[in-house]
Amino acid sequence: MHIEIKNIHKHFGSVHANNDISLTIERGLILGLLGENGAGKSTLMKILSGLIYMDSGEIMINDQLQVLTNPMDALRLGIGMLHQDPQDFPSMAIKEDLLIWNQKIGHKKSQRDLSELTEIQNELGFKIDLNGMVGELTVGERQQLELIRLLWLGVELLILDEPTTGISASQQETLFGALKKLAQKGKTIIFVSHKLEEVKELCSRVIVLRKGCLIGSRDAPFKENDLVKLMFGRQITRVKKSQARTAKVNLSIDLLSIDDFRISIENANLNLFEGEIIGLAGMEGSGQRQFLQTLAGIKQPTGGTINLDGEPISGKNCIEFQKRGIFYVPSARMEEGLVPGMNLEEHYILSDCGKNFFINSQESRQISEKRIRQFNIKGHPFTNTEELSGGNQQRLLLSLLHDSARILLLENPTRGLDVESANWIWSILKERCLTTTSIIFSSADLDELTYYADRILVFFSGKISQPLASSGLNEEKLGRMIGGKDWPK
Amino acid sequence: MIRNHKITNYLFRIAGILTAFFFTAIVLMIARANPLEAFANIFLGAVSTPIKIADSLVAWVPLILTSCGLVITFTAGLWNIGIEGQITLGAIATTWMLRLLQDSGWPSVVILTIGFLAGITGGVIWAMLAGGLKFFGGVSEIFAGLGLNFIATALTIYLIFGPWKRAGVASMSGTKPFEESLWLPTIPGFRLSIWSILLAVVSVLVVFILLKNTIIGLRLKAVGKNPKAAVQMGIPTSRYMLLSFILCGIFAGLTGAMQVIGVYHRLIPSISSGYGFLGLLVAMLVNYQILWAVPVALLFAALNIGGIQLPIMMKLDSTLSGVMQSSLVLFYILLDGVRKIWIKKKEKTSDE
């Protein structure tokens, strides 16, 4: 399949997610698509697979102009996407699952044609028992099933979105073997990833997106440093600020293990000092969220201990953690942090009501107005949270944190905020650190990490690096580690 | 902008009510009846004489009590379908206590007070069962409540035809009525008791203050609107959800006790009279605002009582008032959905 896309634009609100992207993909090519979080990779792939519609631009398939309004359109034209999360029905038998998809795109294949499936899977070297249930398969096997399904439905262009997350090494080998075979047979493949090693091994060409724009394209063989530079750009490192870090450890983590559906973290160790800021670097979904949530008591670790001032606290729930001064601020502000349909004043009442029974409306109004002024929130005590802008929601979340907070766990604290809001939020956070509060935050912004963090932990597929002092760290090195290079074996 | 929304909000609400009347009129016409005549009969049947007004109020009390309870569970984001069973268990517990104590010679005030307390206990136990099944067993509160409703009904029938059957022959008309000294005193000449009205008014005030002016109410609201964020704010969500069940159980139990002590003076098979389900409709209509439940429940009670006139005056089935009640809810909620879509569209166009 020969694909040509021309001048694609896509906006989400004020964000220009895809900015004038043009691209030609030839038959039989394995194309790598690289870029940091928010670079516009997923948006572009979703446009190509019909999940979202572009604002302007053209898609030519085999020299014919096509309009893709939904994934079924794309499937009928032979474009299929392998999503990060399997798009299947775990409670169904595998055959039922396949037939549903088949009916959806309007093919008239019957039960008999399931024999084709066996052929496809033998060719690719997969070993799924097609008579079983979907729910009994591992994540890797479900991915194989999806691949078989897409090929069975006649897909010519295969888009894979971070396909190696959550599957085993041997499954990855099988997958790569299968993809190479498919390319030889003339299928076109787009491989979205942030792992340089994989891209190097598999792809014959790589394109890099940054901030919505197509920055460049390279043909194999690739130079890693070249790709890292393309992905992250050259950034000027700002002058380091003074540290508030003291010599006293408040939180220590010993051999902490965390198990999640996709990611497992093993034997993590860390000593957090009072007043210290630790940054968690890594691509989204490398385990940072699970790590923060475990430290907040929301997720229970499968092994190891968390000690606060030498007292073990793992095993307790997050409300106990909060009582001890450990607070978590999620990145999904409206979904996990604030209550839609409730106003600012109600949030302030809930955050510091203590043991009162009745609401003291006069007092709470005063407190609300004071906090709103103090945190410079553009809103009134009676404004509902969902009416606030993202930056103001983040300010509200921070203004809700108790003064007694000793450890703040912040997930992407400045994501989606303009520079001014981000700077302001950090000035507030730094102020807190002077009063011995410690902060652990995750971020996708290398500049933010090296500038604000005293030490950085890099996450890669659930692996956590040794703490790296941010002062001696250059961004190129950090970029390589995030891409999975330079890790001690 | 917000002001504009307020006006459109009211317009949509009124439109919902009008559509419901229109729909009922069509149903009446299909039944070959004059809609205006039917509406007039329902209205007159509910308010034309003092006795009828009093009867409407008698129906209003249990409805407002269940609405009080349900507004609390709704606030916490829970569907307490099991309220019927909770009413029934309240009634059973009250009957049980009254049967035990009716020959004790104690003053009736004491016996009745114990009866009400027993009713509350019964309702709370049944509500805690539903809540416990949800939080410790992972059963949806809707299914748990539904199952417990059936068990409660079965238990009532068993008691009426078994251990508590009337001397001689057991019958669907219920257990043997209590002595008149154990009836809730009524206004002479009416079935209405000043005490039940008082209880209803106090209940509304208590719930109003609880939800509006207390930390508990605010926490319940946060739990209902976003449990994940509520946890971040240090609210133990399951404890508060369970609490909302218990509070609702209190009002359900009171309803059951009131039906036994104030209305039927015995246990009958359909002791809850569907007031639990009707209360769900009221609670949905008033959208967490308990004060609105006062007029809405009154309207529904009047429809119930006025509907009795339909078979008498027009040879129509009295269930037509049920059609009216439910179409009111359906169209109100439907138009509320339309309103939301409409506002979204309008905001979109004004953004561009």
Number of domains in chain B: 1
* Entry pTM: 0.78
pLDDT by residue (tens digit) across B238-267?
999 999 999 999 999 999 999 999 999 999
Contacts of B214 in chain A (CB under 8 A): 357-359
Q: Measure B230 CA to nearest chain A CA, in Å.
A: 7
Contact A351 B225 (CB under 8 A): no
Contact B221 A298 (CB under 8 A): no
Q: Measure A1 CA to nearest chain B CA, in Å.
A: 38
Q: How confident is the model at residue B90 (pLDDT cuts 50, 70, 90)?
A: very high
Within-domain flag for B296: yes
pLDDT for residue B133: 93
Q: Measure A103 CA to nearest chain B CA, in Å.
A: 32
Calculate what percentage of chain B has a pLDDT beyond 90: 54
DSSP B281-311: HHHHHHTT-HHHHHHHHHHHHHHHHHHTHHH
Q: Which of A333, A350, A393 to mutate to test the interface with B (most CBs of B within 10 A)?
A: A350
Return the closest-CA partner of residue A404 out of A455, A354, A358, A442.
A354
Contact A349 B228 (CB under 8 A): no
d(CA B66, CA B258): 11
- What is the distance in angstroms between the CA of the first residue and the CA of the last residue of chain A? 40
- Determine the Cα angle at A468 with ends A466 and A472, to 5°: 155
Q: Measure A295 CA to nearest chain B CA, in Å.
A: 13
Contact A359 B213 (CB under 8 A): yes
d(CA B336, CA B316): 31
Q: Which of B213, B221, B232 to mutate to test the interface with A (most CBs of A within 10 A)?
A: B232
Is residue A277 helix, strand or coil? strand
Pairing of strands A326-329, A157-161: unpaired
Tell how far CA B156 is from the center of its chain. 19
pLDDT for residue A230: 83
Contact B226 A339 (CB under 8 A): yes
pLDDT for residue B283: 92
Is residue B159 helix, strand or coil? helix
Burial degree of B197 (CB within 10 A; 0-12, 13-18, 19+): middle
Q: Measure A451 CA to nearest chain B CA, in Å.
A: 28
Within-domain flag for B191: yes
Give the tokens for residue A86: 């399997």
Q: Are the CB atoms for A479 and A473 separated by under 8 Å?
A: no
Within-domain flag for B299: yes
pLDDT for residue B348: 66
In the DSSP assignment, the letter for residue B264 is: I
How many other C-beta atoms can be found within 10 angstroms of the C-beta atom of residue A433?
21
Element (H, E) at A311: strand A311-312
Q: Tens place of pLDDT for every residue, chain A, 489 residues? A: 888 999 999 987 767 889 899 999 988 899 999 887 678 888 899 999 988 889 899 999 988 998 888 888 888 889 999 887 778 888 888 888 887 776 655 555 555 567 788 888 888 888 888 888 888 888 788 888 888 888 888 899 999 988 877 677 788 888 999 999 999 998 999 999 877 888 888 999 999 988 888 888 898 888 888 888 888 775 444 445 566 777 888 899 888 898 877 778 888 889 999 989 999 998 877 889 999 999 999 888 998 899 998 888 888 888 889 888 999 999 888 888 899 889 999 999 888 766 778 888 888 888 899 989 888 888 889 888 888 877 788 889 988 887 778 999 999 888 777 777 788 888 888 888 888 889 999 988 787 888 889 899 999 888 898 888 887 777 778 888 888 887 876
Q: How far is CA A488 from CA A264, A283, A464, in A?
A: 18, 19, 11
What residues of B are in the A interface, CB distance below 8 Å?
213-216, 218-219, 221-222, 225-226, 228-236
Within-domain flag for B16: no
DSSP A407-473: EEEEESTTTT--HHHHHHHHHHHHHHHHTT-EEEEE-S-HHHHHHH-SEEEEEETTEEPPPEEGGG-
Q: Is the ipTM of this complex over 0.85?
A: no
Contacts of A324 in chain B (CB under 8 A): none
A154: Cβ contacts below 8 Å, ≥ 6 apart: A78, A107
Mean pLDDT estimate for chain B:
89
Is residue B10 helix, strand or coil? helix
A401 touching B, CB under 8 A? no
Within-domain flag for B287: yes
Contact A338 B229 (CB under 8 A): yes
Res B3 pLDDT > 70: no
Within-domain flag for B309: yes
The 8 Å CB, 24+ separation contacts for B7-10 are: B8/B339, B8/B342, B8/B343, B9/B339
Residue-range definition of the domain harbouring residue B82: 34-315
pLDDT for residue A474: 75
Contact B215 A350 (CB under 8 A): yes
Q: Are the CB atoms for A321 and A294 separated by under 8 Å?
A: no
CB pairs under 8 A between A and B: 64
Within-domain flag for B335: no
Q: Which of B135, B216, B233 to mutate to test the interface with A (most CBs of A within 10 A)?
A: B233
d(CA A381, CA A362): 12
Tell me the CATH number at B80.
1.10.3470
Domains of chain A: 3-232 (3.40.50.300), 235-325+403-489 (3.40.50.300), 345-401 (no CATH)
Contact B219 A341 (CB under 8 A): no
Q: Are the CB atoms for B285 and B328 separated by under 8 Å?
A: yes
A353 touching B, CB under 8 A? yes
Element (H, E) at A118: helix A114-124
Give the tokens for residue A302: 């499968």
Give the tokens for residue A355: 């043991």
d(CA A211, CA A20): 12
d(CA A157, CA A48): 10
Residue A64 falls in which region: left (phi positive, over 0), alpha (psi -120 to 50) or beta: beta
Chain A residue with minimum CA distance to B236: A319
d(CA A63, CA A476): 40
Chain A residue with minimum CA distance to B235: A319
pLDDT for residue A17: 85
pLDDT for residue B349: 67
DSSP A172-230: HHHHHHHHHHHHHTT-EEEEE-S-HHHHHHH-SEEEEEETTEEEEEEESSPPHHHHHHH
pLDDT for residue A91: 83
Contacts of B218 in chain A (CB under 8 A): 346, 349-350, 353, 359
Q: Measure A138 CA to nearest chain B CA, in Å.
A: 25
pLDDT by residue (tens digit) across B137-158?
889 999 999 999 999 999 999 9
DSSP B47-71: HSSHHHHHHHHHHHHHHHHHHHHHH
Within-domain flag for B61: yes
B214, B230, B231 ranked by CB distance to A357: nearest? B214
Q: Are the CB atoms for A169 and A462 separated by under 8 Å?
A: no
Burial degree of A133 (CB within 10 A; 0-12, 13-18, 19+): middle
Residues in chain B, overall count = 352
B214, B231, B232 ranked by CB distance to A359: nearest? B214
pLDDT by residue (tens digit) across B194-243?
999 999 999 999 999 999 999 999 999 999 999 999 988 888 999 999 99
Contact A340 B226 (CB under 8 A): yes
